Structure 1
Amino acid sequence: MNTALHEIDERTNLTATNKFELLLFKLGDAPGTHQRELFGINVFKIREILVMPTITAIANAPANVMGVANIRGQVITVINLPKVIGCTPKKELPILLVTEYARSTQAFAVEEVNEIVRLEWSQVIAAEGKGGNMVTSIARIDGNTEDSRLAQVLDVEQILRDVLPSATEAITPEKVGPKIKLPAGKMILAADDSPLARSMIEKELKTLDVPYVMTHTGLEAWKRIQSISDAAAAEGKTLQDKIALVLTDLEMPEMDGFTLTRNIKSDQRFKSVPVVIHSSLTGEANENHVKSVGADAFIAKFEAGELADTIRKALA
């Protein structure tokens, strides 16, 4: 037990140095090739790894849902991850990854689990524009070198939306409540590396009638904050006159949300700007660490009404 707690503490403390751990696995032959590519999921999202249990097929289930499994008394949906990605396994799917994402628990069948690697977020680059809509980023496993192995970090939010669209919440004026009135010239700065998450955040902010700037990584957001601050200073103003609130994800290439928040809160020029962390990385360890880096609030993805209420409270 002490060893397990030590490992949890150690992994949590990685966020203080812009590092994280990635579980690497394989799904079979990539489409049109005989290559078995590496894929990855943040270890913090993995609840457990199991030998494939008995699967109960569900009548009229979506094509990529294998059925459900009874795991420790909880009935969990099992998703055929190779089929979702388009890979062809060379053997049966013997391993199940049980994951926790944004208030939900689900399991992914995979062909093979390889290893856990410890990386810096600077080793991870955004995958947007490089083809494929189910990959948020690409990790250079062996460092930023030409011969490094590459692993594709999956956009589980997008996968879940595609496989189980009925679970996606509509964003409506009724859900988000009254519009938010910001002082003239102010806006919200948001950062998220998932195209799906960005589209949902943008729709919510538009429904709230809030001006915003959207960025794709923590590093991009940090650079934007600095440039906005410089422009404000040239006008005899401060960052607080321009940015009403920062809304950030945690997992992002180049710089994560923990580091972005720490940078903001440790800079005397910016520390009074409220920071709300909006993440699918739930759990007590993450929420406690969110508080330790100085964030003003934490909200799990994605519930439109709760997000709106959290933004209102942080602005107040």
Structure 2
Amino acid sequence: MASVLEAVDQRTNLVGENRLELLMFHLGGMQMFAINVFKVQEVVQLPKLNLMPHRHPSVAGVTHFRGKTIPVIDLSESIGMKPIDRSQPCNLIVTEYNNTIQGFMVGKVDRIINMYWSEILPPPDGAGRQHYLTAITRVNERIVEIIDVEKILAEISPYDGTISDDVIDKDLLSLAKGLEVLIVDDSKVARSQVESTLNFLGITVHQATDGKRGLQMLKDWAADGDNVPEKLLMMITDAEMPEMDGYTLTREIRDDPRLKDIYIVLHTSLSGSFNKAMVQKVGCDDFLSKFQPDKLATVIQDRMRQVIYKE
């Protein structure tokens, strides 16, 4: 399997070019599924699993990986399909999401393919597994379904959106009325979680489901005569999105004189150290790992102080 992942170390060259690499695999049938290689640490044959009491039905057990005990999730069962048949060859995809390590049990791993984000499309309305898909694409005329892993993880370990009392600046929040933020993210779970924090802070929320739609929204506002950098407190964008990723979205904004001064926060479940470097490369103003309400609230309030108090 190491040969399958030889290209992983080269993946950073794709960022900012609206390109990505997908790791494709099966879940027991002929249908092909995929996740972004950015989130993959290693692919190995399924090791022995130890059962956990009171585990979520989709968690097949735990295993030891490089000195850590990690949960192993049956990816097929977690999206409403039959559990993986462990009497057949199985693989474990070890991933990092939101600073946590977990393994996904799958069937046969196929290969890695290099694509443009413009070739990655939102799932069509009425798609049977749309509930758990973040996007689809075509490879050799075959549909490949890209799984919304953030939704799966949120269902297994529900997100706590509570903001700590000591994080909130109540004097500052009294001045939040009228402030607006644009969220750009293809994951409904991620958008709702950010929206919850923003609503708590009293901020008006606009949403777009991918970079292309987010950019068009910004351009429409500018065409209508709005001073968009003044209209928006900030834009919070995911990195991975169909049609246009967050890095390309940022570059397009910086190249538009009407939009270039928008304050942009990259908000992603990808590797923190990697994205901090990418913030500088593509011109974002800040970086934040997903699903950390206290840190999100802190970033928002810091920006509010800059705008309101001119700090």
TM above 0.5, yes or no, is yes
Give the conservation status (yes or no) of the 8 Å contact 1:68–1:76.
Answer: yes
Selected match of 2:46 from 52, 59, 68: 52
Aligned positions of 1:164-175 closer than 5 A: 164-165=157-158, 168-172=159-163, 174=165
Question: How many angstroms apart in 2 are the aligned matches of 1:8 and 1:182?
Answer: 43
Selected match of 2:122 from 118, 121, 126: 126
| Aligned CA distance change for structure 1 residues 180 and 40 (closer, same or farther; 3 Å) | farther
In structure 1, the gaps of 5 or more residues are 1-5, 30-35, 143-147
Cα displacement (A) at 1:286? 2.8
Q: What are the superposed Cα offsets for residues 268-296 of structure 1, whole Å, 9 maximum, x if unpaired?
A: 32222110011001242232112210100
| Aligned CA distance change for structure 1 residues 164 and 68 (closer, same or farther; 3 Å) | same
Q: Which residue of 1 aligns with 2:210?
A: 217
Q: Which residue of 2 aligns with 1:145?
A: none
Note if 1:207 corresponds to 2:200: yes
Q: Which residue of 1 aligns with 2:297?
A: 308
Selected match of 2:104 from 94, 108, 115: 108
- 1:133 counterpart SS class: helix
- 1:162 counterpart SS class: helix
Give the conservation status (yes or no) of the 8 Å contact 1:79–1:108.
Answer: yes
Question: How many angstroms apart in 2 are the aligned matches of 1:70 and 1:287?
Answer: 29
Note if 1:188 corresponds to 2:181: yes
Selected match of 2:63 from 69, 73, 93: 69
Give the conservation status (yes or no) of the 8 Å contact 1:23–1:43.
Answer: yes
Question: How many angstroms apart in 1 are the aligned matches of 2:94 and 2:8?
Answer: 17
Structure 1 stretch displaced more, 148-157 or 6-15: 6-15
Question: How many angstroms apart in 2 are the aligned matches of 1:267 and 1:62?
Answer: 48
Q: What are the superposed Cα offsets for residues 191-229 of structure 1, whole Å, 9 maximum, x if unpaired?
A: 010111111111111111001211111000000000111
| Aligned CA distance change for structure 1 residues 245 and 115 (closer, same or farther; 3 Å) | same
Question: How many angstroms apart in 2 are the aligned matches of 1:93 and 1:304?
Answer: 40
Q: What are the superposed Cα offsets for residues 14-60 of structure 1, whole Å, 9 maximum, x if unpaired?
A: 1222010000000013xxxxxx2111100000010011112111122
Structure 1 stretch displaced more, 127-136 or 262-271: 127-136
User: Which amino acid is 2:257 matched to?
Assistant: Q
Selected match of 2:251 from 256, 259, 262: 262
Aligned positions of 1:286-297 closer than 5 A: 286-297=275-286
- 2:114 counterpart SS class: strand
- 1:286 counterpart SS class: helix
Cα displacement (A) at 1:61? 1.4
Note if 1:154 corresponds to 2:152: no
| Aligned CA distance change for structure 1 residues 77 and 93 (closer, same or farther; 3 Å) | farther
| Aligned CA distance change for structure 1 residues 13 and 130 (closer, same or farther; 3 Å) | farther
Selected match of 2:232 from 235, 243, 246: 243
- 1:170 counterpart SS class: coil
- 2:61 counterpart SS class: strand
Give the conservation status (yes or no) of the 8 Å contact 1:93–1:110.
Answer: no
Structure 1 stretch displaced more, 92-101 or 256-265: 92-101
Cα displacement (A) at 1:182? 4.5
Normalising by the residue count of structure 1, what TM-score does the alignment of the two structures yield?
0.86
- 1:254 counterpart SS class: coil
Selected match of 1:226 from 219, 228, 249: 219
Note if 1:275 corresponds to 2:264: yes
Question: How many angstroms apart in 1 are the aligned matches of 2:53 and 2:297?
Answer: 37
| Aligned CA distance change for structure 1 residues 221 and 11 (closer, same or farther; 3 Å) | same
Q: What are the superposed Cα offsets for residues 35-93 of structure 1, whole Å, 9 maximum, x if unpaired?
A: x2111100000010011112111122121111110111100001111222233445435
| Aligned CA distance change for structure 1 residues 228 and 133 (closer, same or farther; 3 Å) | same
Question: How many angstroms apart in 2 are the aligned matches of 1:212 and 1:200?
Answer: 12
RMSD over aligned Cα atoms: 2.2
User: Which amino acid is 1:67 matched to?
Assistant: G
Number of residue pairs the alignment of both structures matches: 294
Give the conservation status (yes or no) of the 8 Å contact 1:25–1:113.
Answer: yes
